[in-house]
Amino acid sequence: MERVSKLTKRILRWLLPWQVLHIVYRRHALRYLKNLSVSIDPNRKTIVVLNHFFDQDVRALSLANKDYNLVVIDTVTLFRGAKIFFDEDVRELHVPYDTADPSLIARYRRECELIFDHLRKEVNVSLIVTASDIFYWVREFIGVARDRGVKTVVLDKEGTLSPYDFEAEARRIREFAPFMSDHIFVWSERQREFWNRIGVTDERISVIGQPRSDLLHCEQREEVDRLFHKAQPIVTLFSYMDDAYIPVKLIRSEGLKWEMKTETHDEFYRLAQVNPSYNFVIKTHPQQPDLVDLKRKYERDNLRVIGGSAVANELLQRSELIIAFQTTAVIEAMLLKRRVVYTYWDKLVERLKDDLLPFHRASGIVVSRSFEDFRNKCASFFGGDSSVFEFTSESTAARDEFVNQYLHKPDGHVCDRFLESVERFMS
């Protein structure tokens, strides 16, 4: 039914005249702003957070905030109409943003002026916070805010870029969508170097750590249990897209994808079948396109497939075993000293090893370099033998050092550091 609905919407967008779509999307955006359910203290300044798939960072910020009005905007809803002003290549950042049709950019800027002015009327904006300024839908909005005397800062949500992306993404962003905000807050010194390569100077970068890591210190949630018939120990597999982490040029030229992904998921399903005293969760990436297919294929009484980002921290905190590949969750699980099996047997890993995050060399986790080894390690765990997850003090020290390269001071006060810093940018 969901696929039919999406297909119907696409057909309608294709059939309706551009002018009609323009009016429909404008009304949709203004209705959303009018119906914002927020409580504003007129004696406080207002931070508007553009939430683009970083729910946990926003939650951490909300819990830490004591001095400001914090208004969270669902960007998918508010900026839904932006796509009709831009070609697909611009939307996907395959070409420079500046190559978009100037007349359409001008028209979209007028839409952003309308949106910003309505937003300001509702909440009196003092500062804009966004997860990134490379998105096609946000760049004119940032420009409008600046014209109105309101600054924008980026609270970076991507802190574990692979060696390949460290080079390729820096070059692509520098050429296609240069940094345009007033300041950026990043996870680590490593991430500072990434933004330096893009062209952002040190004085416009603050290293504060990963905001959502604060949640690991301040809350314990049990929402996952509601997805199952009864509460049981949890085992989590962090899923990924078929071609995730593979250089784009190889995807285009050779159609490469991870065969290991299906093997891992199928084995995870089998483990759920033979271990009914555990609850199993396949946690997909927030923007993973095969969520519905995975649900249809793998869900059973003690196995659920979950999208979004709201429960990731709970899964990290509560899982007895975590299975993953090339995800920030590996770093976070290492921080929490969880049992981790890192999958690393696909035929592509040897070819791409220098382009991937070096988890295969990390200490304090189990690296399975063959499917047979993966099955054996899991069998040992479910058989009650966790000795493979016991590490020397040297290994655990190396693990902690590895984590510190990517997460600066995960001490529960990252959002405090952010909120203490932003006053200087407020209008």
Whether the pLDDT of residue 303 is over 50: the answer is yes
Query: Whats the size of the chain, residue-wise?
Result: 427
Q: What rounded mean pLDDT belongs to the chain?
A: 94
Alpha-carbon distance 237 to 60, whole Å? Answer: 24
Which pLDDT value is given to residue 4? 47
Which pLDDT value is given to residue 9? 59
pLDDT tens, position by position, 180-233: 999 999 999 999 999 999 999 999 999 999 999 999 998 888 899 999 999 999
**6 band by pLDDT with thresholds 50, 70 and 90:** low
Alpha-carbon distance 318 to 216, whole Å? Answer: 11
User: CB–CB of 239/261 below 8 Å?
Assistant: yes
The closest alpha carbon to 38, from 68, 60, 75, 61, belongs to 68
Which pLDDT value is given to residue 12? 55
- Domains along the chain with CATH numbers: 2-210+411-425 (3.40.50), 218-406 (3.40.50.2000)
User: CB–CB of 74/53 below 8 Å?
Assistant: no
Q: Span 307-324, mean pLDDT?
A: 93
Q: Span 392-401, mean pLDDT?
A: 96
Q: Span 304-317, mean pLDDT?
A: 91
Q: Span 307-315, mean pLDDT?
A: 88
Q: The dihedral of CA 200, 201, 203, 208: what is its sign?
A: positive
For residue 419, count CB atoms less than 10 angstroms from its CB and return exposed for 0-12, middle for 13-18, buried for 19 or more.
middle
pLDDT tens, position by position, 181-196: 999 999 999 999 999 9
DSSP output for 38-76: ----TTS-EEEEEESS-HHHHHHHHHH--SSEEEEEEHH
Secondary structure letter of residue 279 according to DSSP: E
**158 band by pLDDT with thresholds 50, 70 and 90:** confident
How many degrees, rounded to 5, is the angle at CA 103 between CA 99 and CA 106? 95
In terms of C-beta distances under 8 Å and separation of at least 24 residues, what long-range contacts does 223-228 make, across chains too? Answer: 223/311, 223/314, 224/279, 224/281, 224/306, 224/311, 224/314, 224/315, 224/318, 225/279, 227/279, 227/281, 227/304, 227/306, 228/279, 228/301, 228/302, 228/304
Whether the pLDDT of residue 171 is over 90: the answer is yes
Whether the pLDDT of residue 289 is over 70: the answer is yes
Which pLDDT value is given to residue 1? 45
Which pLDDT value is given to residue 8? 62
pLDDT tens, position by position, 38-94: 989 999 999 999 999 889 999 999 999 999 999 999 999 999 999 999 999 999 999
